[in-house]
């Protein structure tokens, strides 16, 4: 099948939204389909989004390819006669983050007007899609709530050569690889290290979104003399990351109310490592059940420290949870053949 994969991007910002499109394209090519990828730059602020939406809608995809797969918001406004949308999030500031500090528009009639305009556009783009999928149960529920539609959850697998992942040992450190940004709460993980009672260590890897946030973390480590317990590694080459995954005790993934389980969770699963997450982390809770694939802590430093200590003190339990973490993907049908079939409108 000739497939167009269309997504939006912010130039020079890499993340899950870009990976899901790229990996889907690669998996489809591997399955024998003719795939072209389009990453259309799209602004992040509300005001320029409106005019950019008009430009996106004007992009002439209709008549090209047999199927268009729209991925990152708002690629679903693209017009195509056989469009499927893999909806991975709303314009979150105006919907699920409305009551949070991330809202980004005034909480008055103007802000509401932005939200209603985008709700209408989402309804239009999703409504004209032949099939609508979401990347998690959370996003499915949000689409039900905000758009009155009932999409099918379709969990995205990790891409590339997954044979690179392996398990060496259950070491003495918790590994947290992710973009370093307040919403991922690396700071909470560092704070937890003040309260651990075991020699467990924390290794954080990733590029800070803002220099200020990175400095805050470094200052905190220095202030509480955690230099011997916490490593801040910055962005890692894939090989180094895979190596750390293979040797860590567990993976921490602590986002605030995230849309999906996140690729770090899947990387932990491929490495047969338990996952420590928080009770308000969102999508990760669809993958991790407390005491089975990992531990779910309350979102405070002391409770998180207890989870870290528990895994350190009982490595057999950590290994058992790691094994369940590995098996969890099959339970949730997190596999490319299933995903590709569904995206291309074939039978379940």
Q: Which residues bind another protein (CB under 8 A)?
A: 46-48, 50-51, 53-54, 57-58, 77, 106, 108-110, 112-114, 117, 120-121, 124
Tokens of 277: 């997450």
CB of 53 to another protein, least distance (A): 6
Q: In angstroms, what is the minimal distance from the CB of 150 to another protein?
A: 23
Q: Note the Cα 287 to chain centre separation in Å.
A: 12
Identify whether the C-beta of residue 230 lies closer than 8 Å to the C-beta of residue 190: yes
E-strand ranges in the chain read 2-9, 34-41, 67-70, 83-87, 131-134, 152-153, 173-177, 201-205, 230-232, 250-252, 275-278, 294-297
Question: At closest approach, how far in Å is the CB of 77 from another protein?
Answer: 7
- Give the nearest distance from C-beta 5 to another protein in angstroms: 22
CB nearer to another protein: pick between 76 and 328: 76
Q: Are 90 and 146 in contact (CB under 8 A)?
A: yes
Nearer to another protein, 48 or 199 (CB): 48
CB of 114 to another protein, least distance (A): 5
Helix intervals (H) in the chain: 16-30, 46-58, 109-127, 137-147, 186-192, 211-223, 238-247, 263-270, 284-287, 301-313, 315-331, 336-343
Q: Contact, 71 vs 41, CB < 8 A? A: no
Nearer to another protein, 79 or 315 (CB): 79
Cα–Cα distances (Å) from 51 to 4, 28, 54, 113, 274, in that order, read 24, 32, 5, 15, 45
263-270 vs 238-247: helix crossing angle, rounded to 10: 60
Closer Cβ to another protein, 119 or 229, answer by number:
119
Q: How far apart are CA 343 and CA 318, in angstroms?
A: 35
Q: How far is the CB of 194 from another protein (least distance, A)?
A: 43
Residue 110: CB minimum distance to another protein, A: 4
Q: Which residue, 78 or 284, has its beta carbon nearer to another protein?
A: 78
Q: Report the C-alpha gap between 134 and 259 in whole angstroms.
A: 10
Give 77 or 339: the residue with its C-beta nearer to another protein. Answer: 77
Q: Which is nearer to another protein, 109 or 211 (CB)?
A: 109
């Amino acid at each position: 099948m000739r497939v167009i994969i269309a997504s939006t991007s912010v130039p020079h910002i890499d993340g899950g939204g870009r990976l899901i499109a790229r990996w889907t394209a690669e998996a489809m090519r591997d399955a024998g389909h003719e795939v072209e990828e389009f990453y259309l730059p799209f602004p992040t602020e509300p005001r320029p989004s409106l005019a950019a939406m008009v430009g996106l809608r004007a992009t002439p995809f209709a008549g090209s390819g047999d199927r268009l797969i729209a991925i990152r918001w708002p690629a679903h406004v693209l017009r195509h006669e056989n469009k499927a949308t893999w909806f991975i999030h709303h314009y979150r500031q105006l919907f699920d983050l409305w009551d949070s500090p991330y809202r980004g528009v005034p909480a008055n009639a103007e802000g509401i007007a932005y939200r209603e305009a985008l709700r209408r556009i989402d309804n239009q783009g999703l409504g004209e899609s032949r099939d609508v999928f979401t990347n998690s149960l959370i996003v499915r529920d949000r689409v039900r709530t905000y758009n009155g539609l009932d999409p099918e959850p379709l969990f995205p697998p990790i891409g590339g050569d997954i044979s690179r992942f392996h398990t060496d040992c259950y070491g003495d450190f918790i590994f947290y690889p992710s973009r370093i940004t307040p919403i991922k709460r690396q700071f909470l993980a560092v704070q937890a290290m003040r309260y651990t009672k075991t020699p467990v260590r924390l290794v954080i890897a990733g590029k800070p979104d803002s220099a200020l946030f990175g400095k805050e973390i470094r200052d905190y480590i220095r202030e509480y003399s955690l230099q011997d317990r916490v490593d801040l590694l910055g962005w890692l080459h894939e090989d180094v990351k895979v190596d750390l995954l293979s040797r860590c005790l567990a993976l921490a993934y602590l986002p605030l109310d995230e849309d999906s389980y996140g690729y770090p969770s899947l990387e932990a699963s491929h490495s047969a490592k338990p996952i420590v997450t928080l009770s308000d982390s969102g999508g990760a809770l669809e993958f991790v059940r407390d005491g089975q694939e990992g531990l779910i802590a309350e979102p405070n430093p002391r409770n998180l420290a207890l989870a870290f200590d528990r895994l350190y003190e009982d490595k057999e339990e950590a290994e058992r949870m790691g094994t369940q973490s590995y098996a969890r993907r099959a339970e949730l049908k997190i596999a490319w053949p299933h995903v590709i079939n569904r995206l291309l409108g074939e039978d379940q």
